[in-house]
Amino acid sequence: MDADGRTDSIAVVGMGNLLMQDDGVGIHVLEALRQEAGDGVELIDGGTDAWAALWEARRCRHLLVLDAVRGGGEPGTVYRLDLDSVEAPGAKWSLHDVNLVHAIGLDEALGGRFETVTVLGMEPGQVEPGIGLSEPCRLALPRLVRAALSEVQKVRHTEKVPGAQPC
């Protein structure tokens, strides 16, 4: 734990609404990670409340957000975004009105800061009332789970080797 009370862990935040089909993809990935994430990973179900998710993640040095994102690709397309690309003027990646990126911006303005922020997302196919993912998203889910595990490993490697950078 550092002087600010933060640990060296990574917060993995799954965002989304399970009652709106593909909008719940972040939560589905989070559930798949429960068996594989390992030590030093805090799994946080953010639902659609970005402020609460950020509050719960504040103890961690690194943040990985899992969410449905609109990037213009085919349903099931997996995206990796850093905070700068998500904050691009006019970008509307998240399906939520106040997304975690907006909350992170406010947190930074108030003095908080994550060392790394990464967003992994999937292009939704169906965002309407219903339970379960559409077929393209269901089939692509393992790819997004692997991408999340890869991001966690990059952070772990960077933490163990001073000055190392993920490639």
CATH code of 92's domain: 3.40.50.1450
Is the Cβ–Cβ distance between 46 and 31 less than 8 Å?
A: no
* Domain assignment present for 5: no
Domain membership of residue 166 (yes or no) is: no
pLDDT of residue 84: 60
HEC profile of 36-92: CCCCCEEEEEEECCHHHHHHHHCCCCEEEEEEEECCCCCCCCEEEEEHHHHCCCCCC
Domain count, the chain: 1
1: in domain: no
Higher pLDDT, 36 or 87: 36
Give the residue carrying structure tokens 């772990």. Answer: 156
Asked if residue 4 is part of any domain, the answer here is: no
Asked if 61 contacts 6 with a C-beta cutoff of 8 angstroms, the reply is yes
Percentage above 70 pLDDT, the chain: 71
Which among 24, 29, 21 is positioned nearest to 142, based on CA atoms? 29
Rounded to two decimals, the pTM is: 0.81
The answer to whether residue 35 sits within a structural domain is yes
Q: Is residue 43 domain-resident?
A: yes
- Answer whether residue 140 is part of any domain: yes
pLDDT tens string 15-65: 999 999 999 999 999 999 998 888 889 999 999 888 888 888 888 989 899
110 within domain boundaries: yes
Beta pairing, strands 10-15 & 62-68: parallel
Which structural domain, as residue segments, surrounds residue 146? 10-159
Mind listing the pLDDT tens digit for each residue in 119-149?
899 999 999 999 999 999 999 999 999 999 9
Sheet holding 116-122, edge to edge: 41-47, 10-15, 62-68, 116-122, 78-82
Which tokens go with 18?
């399970």
**Using CA atoms, how far apart are residues 30 and 14, in angstroms rounded to an integer?**
6
